Amino acid sequence: MAKRTAGKTKSGTVRRQGRRVMPALRRTAKRARVAAQKAQLTLGEVIAAAFDTAGGEMSGVLELVTSPQMTRALGRRIVVVS
């Protein structure tokens, strides 16, 4: 979208082109997705790592896997349906 601003030209206005910035979460997710594709993690490996981190407690695993930090790290949102 080109906008016009007052400037010092013969016609009195100068065209300027603005650019919309991609939202930060999408930018972060895009970078994380590229990194995750290089690593090729499976969902089982992610859950196994969460069990190791949480000490085998199911509530701790659910908190880790569904956390916003995990969403950003993987570039995907994990939803657990019980």
DSSP, res 40:
T
Q: What is the pLDDT of residue 72?
A: 81
pLDDT in tens, 68-79: 988 887 778 888
Q: What is the pLDDT of residue 74?
A: 79
Q: Which two tokens stand for residue 18?
A: 């603005």
Angstrom distance (rounded) from CA 75 to CA 19: 24
Using the CB atoms, write b or e for 42-51: b if 16+ within 10 Å: eeeebeeebb
Q: pTM for the full model?
A: 0.49
Q: What is the pLDDT of residue 52?
A: 92
- The residue ranges of DSSP E strands in the chain, in sequence order, are 2-6, 13-17
| Between 36 and 43, the higher pLDDT residue | 43
pLDDT in tens, 3-33: 555 556 666 677 777 777 766 767 777 777 7
